[in-house]
Structure 1
Amino acid sequence: MAEMKIHQAPTCKGIRWQVTLLFLFSWFCHSVSLQLHYTIVEELRKNSVIANIATDLGLDVKDLMPRRFRIVSRVSEKYFSVNLVNGNVYVKERIDREKICKATAICILTFDAVVENPLNVFSVKIEIQDINDNPPMFFHDTITLEIIESTTPGTHLVLQNAEDPDIGINAVQTYKLSDNSYFALNEKTSSDGSKIPELVLIKSLDRETQTIHELILTAFDGGNPVKTGTAIIRVIVTDVNDNMPVFTEELYKVSISENTPINSTVLAVNATDDDEGTNAQISYSFSKTSENSLHTSMFSIHTINGEIRTKSNLDFEISENFEISVQAKDGGGYVAHCKVLIHIIDENDNAPEISITSLSSPILENSTLGTVIALVEVHDQDSGENGEVDCQIMGSVPFQLVSSTSRYYRIISSSVLDREKVSWYNITILANDRGSPQMHSRKVIRLDISDVNDNPPLFLKSTYVAYLPENNIPGASIYKIQASDLDLGDNAKVIYSISNSNTEDFPVSSFFSINIETGVLYSQRSFDYEQHKVFQMEIMARDGGSPTLTNNATLFIYITDQNDNAPKILYPPSESSVSAVFETVPFASEPGLLITKVVAVDADSGHNSLLSYHFVQISEQFPFNINEHTGEIRVLRAIQEKDILRHKAVVMVKDNGDPHLSVTVTLSLVIGDHFQQIVPKLNNQFSDGEPPSKMQMYLVISLALISLLFILTVVLVILSKCKEPKPPSDFGAISKNLYSQVDPMILSKFQNGTLTLPYSYNVCVALDSSESDFTLMKVNQNIPIDSLIDTDDSGFVSGDIKDTLSPSTSLQMMFDDIL
């Protein structure tokens, strides 16, 4: 302990202060307790400087505000304040020692000085010294005494003492009685050290001579300057009553519990009088003093038996002791006095009080272990074990209660916090005292956990698949991808983007765009299934925290096919220079015989590319049918002489899309075994329905064309003989595989819808028109025609059909002109 004297301060009017600094060093829970002791006098002016507490505590004045320096007290905060700019402690309100401590010898006000970062609690005691600011006062301005005339000189009459709220030397020190012939003043010291004035009779009284004697009693205190108080003593001389009441005890002491019920007997005082009759009849009452005026509301006394009872509920925390003056008065007017000391025994009737003097909420979820959450003060108004308190945190929470001093606890974090698991805590503090029965109280603190960007955005899946129909509208939304973030605020705000992955050497951003806030994907253009079938891209989700966290997901977009391509006919050629394709059918064809096959493809896929074949606008007697699925045209029934020799068939190829798309091709099917038979029959058939003039014209044109064709054929034969002499092939020796099935691998090479069949023929015409014939001289085998036409079910085709199919392709123009 070190003692330091602080010299006179300008605002203290020359009052010398003594400051005692008590350093108690302890390292319990990283806290240091420092105790300051100041001594001041009462009645200092408001804003008087007591001391510089910052200097005395060794604190930098600049740190007072950042460290939240403050004083904590239930009583002292009313009288003292601290200036956080200069660190001085000021008088906040007039201090009346008598009001605060009454007659207590040592009057001390205490408060705790609290600073944070780091947390420290300092205990400060300020002793209030008494000054002579109160004069002595008598409760009654006039003291009336009755004395019988037969009272012998030397008799002592106890007088009411003067009261002075001051203590020590400033209290009542002496009394003085005005000059008179009958009475003198004597001062008696009681057991508690107070002086009681006694009036001493020095000369016999004569009621007949003087009935009333008035004296002036003056009380002096020991202050500087001395203060006085006076009272008039009025002595009434009565008839003879020569014995005074006498109490069995001068001082009565009793202890009772603060839980004593109302109207309970505390004790009974007793006084006796040796007189007889009315002079021996004693009545009890409380002496009329300022102190008793307060106690009469708590206790009552029976005037006859002197029994003192409780009138109100007692409270140890309000008052621990009661000092009551009791007087006994006999019938002759003599009065005797005694004192009753009642001590109140404390009971455990107050639960502990929990208050939060400092709370840090919210705290970051990544706060380090041991972070101070709050400073808790615990107080119990009871005393002894009843006022000793134990604290704990209820439940399973990641916090710990650590004692700093006898009344202060710190709540610190004891494990890692995670806002995504628990965003706030209710910390329940339970305080139990050590009384019997035990009393407790609870305090619930809500602590919010603030977010830290410790969670990246999360997709529900690592891979997403979307389907987009082709021919879509550019700019339309096609898919929504979404990621969630467990954080809050900007830490959970997700921004989407497409990574720079390429598709077919083109950046994905040229095909798609994404809304950075909603994750909605938009198409930048219209897609064609036949060009692009699938896109792969990386979608990146980035949060708005610092540092930024990201996550990726793969998105596959499949373009689905739409029926936007009509079928294309590969065979027969649709871009032929002739008006229709010519096919010959022998008379002896049996039902089911394969005539030809329509071959078509569709650029679409799936159901949209499934093709079906149909005849359009045919008569009921039409002798052919077409396979709906393969396009094969076969003989439906046996051919008769009366049947029409030339049939025009329109074949429609239709896909399976919605809506259907189709294409048509026209075939000319001519019935005849040989070419020589076809022309006359056709002429006869047409002559039946045509005028003679037209028939003649047709014959002339036919002859001219035949002649021209004959000349050209002769020239071609001569030229071919000169270059490459080979024996002519028989007209009927065409390969039996002429009508074989078309190879699907070949069809893919003719996506433009055409199939070139480069065949060369030599034609021989006899002098006799009836013996004219066509002979295949040379066949270019670059692309075999038998690879485009399926055979019939038997695997071979009759020779007549072979003979008629090959020349029909080369002579298509001629037959169209003839017909």
Structure 2
Amino acid sequence: MSMSYEMSRSQIRRLDCWRLPFSLLLLAFWEAGSGQVHYSVLEEAKHGTFVGRIAQDLGLELAELVPRRFRVASKERGDLLEVNLQNGILFVNSRIDREELCGRSLECSLHLEVIVDRPLQVFHVEVEVRDINDNPPVFSLGEQKLLIWESKQPESHFPLEGASDADIGENALLIYRLSQNDYFSLDSPTNSKQTKRVSLTLIKSLDREKTPELHLLLTAADAGKPELTGTSQLSIQVLDVNDNDPEFDQSEYKVKLTENAAKETFVLKLNATDRDEGINGEITYSLRAIKPTGTPAFTLDEHNGEVKVNGTLDYEETKFYEVEVQATDKGNPPMAGHCTVLVEILDANDNAPEVTVTSLSLPVPEDAPLGTVIALISVSDRDSGANGQVTCSLSPHAPFKLVSTFKNYYSLVLDGALDRESVERYAVVVTARDGGAPALSATASVRVEVADVNDNAPAFAQAEHTVFVRENNAPGCHIFTVSARDADAGENARVSYSLVERRVGERALSSYVSVHAESGRVHALQPLDREELELLTVQVSARDGGAPPLGSNVTLQVFVLDENDNAPALLAAGGGLGGGGGPGALSPSSLVARGLGAGQVVAKVRAVDADSGYNAWLSYELAPEAGAARSPFRVGLYTGEVSTARALDEADAARQRLLVLVRDHGEPALTATATLLLSLVDGGQAPKASSRAAAEGAAGARAALVDVNVYLIVAICAVSSLLVLTLLLYAALRCSAPPSQGACAAGKPVLVCSSAVGSWSYSQQRRQRVCSGEGPPKADLMAFSPCLPQSGEESFNPSSDVSY
């Protein structure tokens, strides 16, 4: 069955009359229903993550969502977000990767269109996708190989291939670390744009014979939380010879390009030169890296160094490129030089304001008064009306301000105090913005250098140093190096050293030591004798080269350490030195009764040593001459007492000659000898001698007892003083850095062992004056704690005499 419909002309006219009002009504409903809602969601959010109550925010009832055919349309991956028609909630439907959606763009949003029917309404919803730290830093090269000549000087720089991070903001701010080593430090970017190139800085000279190659680990960590890292191995080969590296005119080139520049557009021509001749001076150019990584945006002619555009440049995608270029000569092995081309992409605008710095007054002294004019700045715009009305602002925060002097003319003036030691230079940006919609702007950078004035005195790391020097040093011996640092620059930071003159006893301090004016090296001008001088206080002054000069002082406490340069000296029976301590010194002969038993003391040898400590610890022994092994006498190892080794009998010779060897414990040991003549007589033949010996023995015992008491009192006082001095010195050393020692410094400390027989030994020296210029003279005292006796040695006898 077929049906046909016919319509009269009058019916058609009536429909035409209704069509126009209906269209206007539909358009009104459309506009009334239009709106925009903004949400935000983190990338990588899980399925079902709540985004927003879209129905409630759009003013729709939940019951009318299904009848009115509520639906969401999107031009960008519409399956990422979904709406629950039961509760009107917008939620995450599938994985959202911000880097996949928007790359490195700072702004990333999903634009949704929400449509409902009866009546027709369209709503615009914008969902911002926020970045999370889900991408670690990535090096384009897993291993970077460097060829470095062993003759490279410290402070040489070697550029490295840096890392890139697909995230944005803080999550893409990279911090570089270098594995521990003795030769290189890392020079890494510190600004937020990270336009500065990562490079190695040589801090210690290389030696190929000792270190032919180095393997280091370069780590890049982002500033996200949690921190993500990437690594690159650095393989450094040290070359045995060195020639000349190719050198660019500039280490860093800055270029600005307009976006959408055509392919093959000329960017700049690089020029590197090599001081070599022939094939070693022929240079080829190559691109090492382009950051951000991806499709190469530029090409480089390897022969003439021309850089050209390789593809479409998009300002909204990438505003800045860092192109790393290497110039390599054709030598064997080849040498390379490096530079960085910083390409800034400019937005394609109509007529942006122009900023011109017409005059600069640089550098600015750090003590310049407020209001000092630093630069004159003029701005202009070829547009007219509101689009040509330009206003200027200054950034970042700095001690400067802009003062308008005339229409479109400004002065950059000082608005705060300057301190070169805190900030050496400022980079301020003048921004000119027009009144258009949208507004267009332009910027100009002004680098303000701060000139130094002499407002900082040289400073020592510490106010006092302790130095140890052995006596009998060579004249001109280096004993210490003082060093002061001045925070100023130039002549204001050039430090010179001088000795603060004073009197040391009867002589000037400059007769003992001298200070090099430039290096600060302190030298001993003459040999020092500890027996005359134990402590020398030296004060060094540091002055800078400013006008007027500023200065400070440091004090050196120079302690003279003892050397074994004094041989033992024998004491006569009266207590004074006898015989000069030379070999073969004779003592008076003594009569000994033949009836004496073993262990009877018949004589005593006394000696002293002018040295101190271990060098003054004396021991006594019989010289190993013929028949000494069968001698009926023996000598105390540390007391010097001569006693019978066995009972005397008729077989013993009537005259006994004993040679006693006195030895100190220095290295090498010094000795003295004493000769004792003993006459053996029958018991009945020596009553007078015995009486005389007994009387002399009693008198000697009383004198020794008095001497012992006096010496013990002196010893107790000296030990107490030594203990207090030791505690003070220990506290001072703990609070300061370990003292540096010069070429004449003492060796390792010697551990002094106690006597093998457990006796005491004192070294009574002449009283020494400590040449610090103050205080009373001091006496040296050395005491050894008792040890267990060994077989064949004499045991400790508390009543025995103490030898001085």
TM-score normalized by the length of structure 1: 0.41
TM-score normalized by the length of structure 2: 0.42
**Structure with max Cα Rg:** 1
Larger RCO: Structure 1 or Structure 2 (Cα < 8 Å, ≥ 6 residues apart)? 2
